[in-house]
Chain A
C-alpha cells in the first residue's frame, strides 16, 4: 500500500500564501489524495480531493476559495492564499488504497501550519 509523506511543520505570515506537500511513495503516481484540516481540539474536516489533474469532485462544506490543490507526479499540493488566523491547523493527507471490494486507507503524518 502507498505511504504518504508530509513535512511535520510549515509557517506563513498572516495574509501570505503557503503550499503544503503530500508525497506518495514510488509506484503510486496515479493515486488521488484527500486533504483534511484539523483545528486545535477539533475533529478532522474534509478539504478536497486531488489527483494529477487537480481537484476531484467538490470542496468540503465551508472551505473557502482561498484553498486550492494541484497534483504532479508523486506530489499532491494544498495551497492556501491570504492566510487567516483560522487556518492555523494540522493538515493531513489521506488516500484510499482499496479496490472494488475492500477498504484500505492510509494517512500521512500531518503538517502543523503555524500562522505568524
Chain B
C-alpha cells in the first residue's frame, strides 16, 4: 500500500524549533519530488516547501523562507521539515505529499501548535 506517515508535531513556544518527519512506504521514494503543505485551523491549503528527488532543487514559500529547512534521506524513505523561529501563524496541520504531476499521495498530517 502506498502510504505517507507524518510525525513530530506538537505544542511549542514561539521562537522555538520543531522537526517534522514523513516516512514513505509502498513506492520507490527516490523516484519522486516531495512537498510539505499546511492547513491552519479552519483555513485552506498552503504550500510550504518542495524538494526534488535528489535534493538538488529546493524551494520555500515566502512565509517560511529563512526559518524552515526541508531535507530528505532516500535511504530511509524519509522527508523532513526543520522548523525554526516558530510563530503563532505557523500553527497548522502539516501534510507531506508526493509530487507525481499533481500531489497524488498525501499523509494524514501532523499538528503543530505554536503558543506560549
Residues on A lying within 8 angstroms of B by beta carbon are 34, 36, 38, 43-46, 48-49, 56-57, 60-61, 90, 92, 94, 96, 98, 101-110
Contacts and interface: CB of A to CB of B under 8 A. Distances in A.
B50 A43 contact: no
A73 B108 CA distance: 34
B95 interface: yes
Given A103-B33, A103-B35, A103-B50, A56 B45 contact: no
Interface stretch (B7-15, B73-81, B96-104): B96-104
Interface residues of B, number: 27
Contacts of A96: 99
B32 interface: no
Q: Which of B35, B97, B104 is packed against the most chain A CB atoms within 10 Å?
A: B104
Given A43-B109, A44-B45, A94-B45, A105 B35 contact: yes
Contacts, number: 72
Contacts of B56: 101
B45 A36 contact: yes
Contact of A106 (B47, B52, B105, B109): B47
B59 A44 contact: no
Given A103-B33, A103-B35, A57 B101 contact: yes
A67 B45 CA distance: 21
A102 B50 CA distance: 8
